[in-house]
């Protein structure tokens, strides 16, 4: 989804995604969830898909505390019995 940021977000991050890297006046290519947030909050407007846009690397937007390497799914005891190598 292409969004032109019209206002800086009032929060610095949401769910581990940094929002303070997005600058007003710049067009960004972003995922549907993030794009919907920008539209719903009035921080951005949709842009025609043929206009150029910046693609923000995840490394710039990711919060250092919530990196994918730090996240894992806790598995139930029944799964642990069947798959003893599962992370605990």
| pTM of the predicted structure, to 2 decimals | 0.59
Radius of gyration of the chain (CA): 18
In this prediction, residue 34 carries a pLDDT of 92
pLDDT in tens, 21-74: 999 998 898 889 999 999 999 999 998 877 666 665 555 555 555 445 555 555
| Rounded Cα distance, 88 and 41, in Å | 38
pLDDT in tens, 17-30: 889 899 999 889 88
Taking alpha carbons only, the member of 74, 63, 69 closest to residue 15 is 63
Asked whether 87 and 43 are in contact (CB, 8 A), the reply is no
User: Average pLDDT, whole number, for the chain?
Assistant: 75
């Amino acid at each position: 989804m292409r969004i032109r940021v019209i206002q800086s977000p009032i929060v610095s991050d949401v769910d581990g995604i940094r929002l303070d890297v997005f600058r007003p006046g710049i067009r960004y290519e972003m995922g549907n969830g993030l794009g919907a947030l920008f539209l719903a909050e009035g921080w951005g407007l949709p842009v025609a898909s043929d206009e150029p846009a910046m693609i923000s690397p995840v490394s710039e937007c990711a919060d250092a505390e919530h990196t994918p390497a730090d996240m894992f799914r806790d598995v139930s005891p029944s799964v642990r019995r069947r798959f003893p190598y599962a992370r605990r």
